[in-house]
Structures are given as C-alpha cells and as structure tokens.
Chain A
Amino acid sequence: NAGVMQNPRHLVRRRGQEARLRCSPMKGHSHVYWYRQLPEEGLKFMVYLQKENIIDESGMPKERFSAEFPKEGPSILRIQQVVRGDSAAYFCASSQYRGEETQYFGPGTRLLVL
C-alpha cells in the first residue's frame, strides 16, 4: 500500500511564476491536509479538503494561494506569483475518515523561490 505521494520533491521558481504542488493521498483516503514548514519553524496548517470540497481553509493566505482536490486525480496546491517568502517545505497528509486522529504525511515538496 503506497503511502502519500507528493511531487515534485523539489521545485525552483523565479519570483512572479506559478508553483503547482501535487499530492496523491494513500489509497482509500479521501481527506487531504496541506501544511507549510517555513525555515526554523514548525508545520503550520493551511487547508483541509475532501473530494471536491474545501472543508477548512483557515490557514491559507488570502491571496495567491488556492487548493483543490478533484473527484479524479491528486490534490493540487497552487501558488500564483510566487515571492521569496513562499520558499518553504509543503507537506501533504491524508486520512481515511473525517476526524480521524492519525494523518499520514507525504515526503514534502521543497519550494525555492529565486
């Protein structure tokens, strides 16, 4: 049973470009969570999605960031017009049920904005 998959593992963008981060949850999991880990900080919750629905986006910056989890395919975290401050590790986690305590994490995507 494959774990949570994220790609790319490393992404380099210039300021003003778009970054697309993909997350495929564990098989049978329909709940996806995105976290951001800034340098020297812990992980911060960004958004929680279920298939085709955003359940909680209280941790998402109001501008330039969006997330989706379509009926088919991976969850996508999209950052438009990236700035240097977006450089971070972005982790995706999945769970089977809503409210399940254990979330399974992917290896993360390390975004570097030049």
Chain B
Amino acid sequence: GNSVTQMEGPVTLSEEAFLTINCTYTATGYPSLFWYVQYPGEGLQLLLKATKADDKGSNKGFEATYRKETTSFHLEKGSVQVSDSAVYFCALELTGNQFYFGTGTSLTVIP
C-alpha cells in the first residue's frame, strides 16, 4: 500500500541549529512528494514539493531531495529560527486526488 513514515517528535532545537526531519515512503507508483507546515491554530500550508526522482524542493531556507533509491524525502534547514516552530507533515500524492500524510513532527525552536 501507500504510506508515509516520519521521524517522531517532538523536536526541540536552539536557534540557528541545523534541522533534519526524516521522511520515508512506500508507494505503488511514482508519487509526488510534499512537505506541509502547520502553524498553531492554522491549516496546512505547502512548504515545498518534488515531482520526480532527484528533484530538490526548496522554500524559505528549507530543502528536501526526492531520493528514489532510498524512498526518502528528508527535510533540512541549515539554521532554524524561532518562527519555524510548527508541525511539519510529509506527504505523497499519486492519483491527483488523494494525499497520504505522515503523522507530523512538532518542531520547537528556542531562542
């Protein structure tokens, strides 16, 4: 079946630390991969995406590379800020209709 497995949280980092949130997937076809971010009290916002193997998605200093050989799409940021505190969801999409989400990883950045 199709599923997404995310690194469990919560994750707490100091400001300017390096961030990695692991995400691996299983899929029956060739999915597009996404990272969504959910700030407190808000809906999910698309952070970045990659549609095929070796593509790199990037936005706001975050990056993730679509690795078909390891079925992974790890999220990274070189220097986190307090404003990055949120819940991050990894997701895959196959049919154009249906997304499969991971359980979310809560990130807290402390000054």
Contacts and interface: CB of A to CB of B under 8 A. Distances in A.
Contacts of B32: 101
A105 B51 contact: no
| Size bracket, chain B contacts | 20 to 34
| Size bracket, chain A contacts | 20 to 34
Interface string A50-65: 0000011011000000
Contacts of B43: 3-4, 6, 91, 105-108
A39 to B, nearest CB: 11
Interface in A1-15: 3-4, 6
Contact of B49 (A6, A44, A59, A102): A102
Interface in B47-86: 49, 51
Interface in B68-110: 89, 91, 93, 95-104
Dominant secondary structure at the A interface: loop
Given A42-B104, A101-B32, A105-B36, A33 B97 contact: yes
Interface of A: 3-4, 6, 33, 35, 40-45, 48, 55-56, 58-59, 91, 93, 98-108
Q: Nearest 3 CB-CB pairs, A to B?
A: A99-B96, A105-B43, A42-B101
26 contacts: A33-B98, A35-B99, A42-B6, A42-B101, A42-B104, A43-B89, A43-B99, A45-B100, A48-B98, A55-B97, A59-B98, A91-B43, A91-B44, A93-B44, A99-B95, A99-B96, A100-B96, A101-B32, A101-B49, A101-B96, A102-B46, A102-B49, A104-B46, A105-B36, A106-B43, A107-B41
Interface of B: 4, 6, 32, 36, 41-46, 49, 51, 89, 91, 93, 95-104
